[in-house]
Amino acid sequence: MQAYWHICKCLAYMKIIIISDLHVGDAAVSNEFAVGSSDNAVKNQLLDELRQLAKQENIRADYVVVAGDITNSATKEEFELASVRLKEIATIVGVEPSKVFFVPGNHDGNWAEEEISMRAMENINLTIERKYNNLRFNNFFKECLEQALSGSYYYEPYFAIWSDDNLNVIGVNSSVFDHYDNKPHHGVIRRQDLASLDTKLQELRIGDSNKINLLVVHHHPTQQPDLPFETADHSILQNAALLMEIASKHRINFIVHGHKHIPRLAQYSDEYQHPINILCAGSFSARLDDRWFQGVPNTIHQIEIDRICDVNSTPFGKVVSWSHNTGHGWTKNESINGIPHKEFFGNRMSPVELKKQLRESIECFFETQTHVRWSELSNHCADIIYTSRKLLDKTINDLSKEIGFSIFKTPGQDEMFILLKGN
């Protein structure tokens, strides 16, 4: 495998489709995901259009990961429809059902059943079983969980781990203790369950493996901007800081979550100096009301891992995202409130070194030509293509003043920008 990574520097060797917050049932935006009729189901070709996209873009992945809120109210019928649709999505992107992994969201526990059980003062373990009955006994999700190396979402310590030759998936149920009457609703992972997770990851030597480590949890483990709103977001995961510390310590490469419905890629690093790429997957098929979401589209993402860094053993690659717009289907246009079509990750060069390399390259090009394309620059210094957009934009802007060039942005295209000599 190591030799293969070196040979295939330009081809992704692993592709993971990420979707979240399908809300199969009354909150789905497409009638393919609604059980019966629903006022929110204003679209009808989400899956057909996904088929077209997969054909056009030649999307073929190795895994599908679903970050929760698979259904809207956790009924038996919703889980039945969800399992059919998830298998269809997997087929569209060329993934076998045994490579589909999931975590429950707050909408996947049946709060009506939970309320009956809690009011009757039943044992908490029985309450949790009842809350998840419709998910537990659905064949597709049951078989998925039975393939896990260890764990369960319905019994302590409420996490499951899948592992094959290339990937470890750690699914953590953050919704078990988000009870029907919690105010405000938020994700919860108890400290004793986090301690068990820490012990299990150590026992499996997850951090020492040469596999990609992906942790999926429904609630967001870091604060998300709720622009344009400024009010505090109380739905963040309780004990999030402890989960992040465990993730850093055991060298998790990706944390994938849902819940927020607004997609975003961020990077996290703490005292362990291990970078974690955090992908908020937004929503694949929920009706996103503009009163709250300000034009956020439905999205689907693909994590593409191109290679592993020889020095740091961390992945280089990109997250490719497509947005659904009524009348246009799934497109790679940049959304006005969400995530760019392509976001890169993996360059661990310091900002000082990045600026130095970019300065040398730009000055070298300007000796013989009047403009420099992003494609020329990224070919010239191999790893800079894997720099986050924010850092890249800041560095190019700083250099434009210091060297003296103008920046012409070419949004939505792979070229990104062209630099023109002189101000």
DSSP 402: I
Please tell me whether residue 21 binds Fe ion under the rule CB under 5 A: yes
Site residues for Fe ion, 58-77, by CB under 5 A, read 69
Please tell me whether residue 304 binds Fe ion under the rule CB under 5 A: no
- Residue 252 has a CB neighbour count (10 Å cut-off) of 25
Query: Is the separation of the CB atoms in 414 and 375 below 8 Å?
Result: yes
Q: How far is the CB of 260 from Fe ion (least distance, A)?
A: 8
Q: How far is the CB of 53 from Fe ion (least distance, A)?
A: 23
Q: Quick one: 275 or 338, whose CB is closer to Fe ion?
A: 338
Place of tokens 């659905």: 138
CA distance 136 to 102: 13
Q: How far is the CB of 70 from Fe ion (least distance, A)?
A: 10
- Whether residue 297 is preceded by a cis peptide bond, meaning omega within 30 degrees of 0, is no
Q: How far is the CB of 258 from Fe ion (least distance, A)?
A: 6
Q: Quick one: 69 or 193, whose CB is closer to Fe ion?
A: 69
Q: How far is the CB of 286 from Fe ion (least distance, A)?
A: 6
Closest residue by beta carbon to Fe ion: 69
Number of residues this chain uses to bind Fe ion (CB under 5 A):
2
Q: In angstroms, what CA-CA distances link 311 with 307, 345, 383?
A: 12, 16, 13
Please tell me whether residue 26 binds Fe ion under the rule CB under 5 A: no
What are the backbone angles phi and psi of residue 36, rounded to the nearest 5°?
Answer: 75, -160
Residue span binding Fe ion (CB under 5 A) among the ranges 19-27, 115-123, 138-146, 325-333: 19-27
> What is the DSSP annotation of 254-282?
EEEE-SS-S-EEEEE--TT---EEEEE--
In DSSP terms, 305 is beta-bridged to: 14, 317
Q: Quick one: 24 or 303, whose CB is closer to Fe ion?
A: 24
CA distance 238 to 189: 6
Q: Quick one: 12 or 82, whose CB is closer to Fe ion?
A: 82
Q: Quick one: 225 or 411, whose CB is closer to Fe ion?
A: 225
- Residue 118 has a CB neighbour count (10 Å cut-off) of 17
Binding site for Fe ion (CB under 5 A): 21, 69
